[in-house]
Structure 1
């Protein structure tokens, strides 16, 4: 089964940037986590996102043309910061992977993938 680990953080909590104290240690922890996923053979995909202030949203309303809106659509304290797609035997294994994330504060939503495109672009069920 494939699961997405959706990482949410409070962007008002400062994190070190490149060249700042603590940045290399923080990135080292994330690199070690990702390497571990590769070594276990469960890594499928993943990525880190720029802050939500860089977002542009395309909103679809039934019967209307899509509207382009600056900023994130969701008005929440926690914003989407990144994700991993992993292979796990079941929800318990996916949750175990999520608890290992080196996330100092925030939340990780764990959701099974329903469909994903194959090499031709056709949707295929994920099992």
Structure 2
């Protein structure tokens, strides 16, 4: 069964590239959101298996969005992403409830599967 993915990122070019890549690698991208508030709403409405979530969003911090999504045990798995160096985030990734972190330049279906 194909995993359903929601992409939450404020850059349309990244959302488009991530969609193409993930669909090519067998994922079903069920939606996109450009900020944290719409990401939370889309996560609730679309029932994805995975939320690919940018850390730097214009309205809410990605760590905060992840922790809100992960409050429910039936919630989708969250994978954080950023173009910044992951060492900058220290323990924030794990404290957010996310499955882990993938740098944007290293995004692949295999990397997502490895975290799940």
User: TM-score under structure 2 normalisation?
Assistant: 0.27
Greater strand fraction, Structure 1 or Structure 2:
1
User: Which fold has the larger relative contact order, with Cα–Cα distance below 8 Å and residues 6 or more apart in sequence?
Assistant: 1
TM-score, scaled relative to structure 1 = 0.25
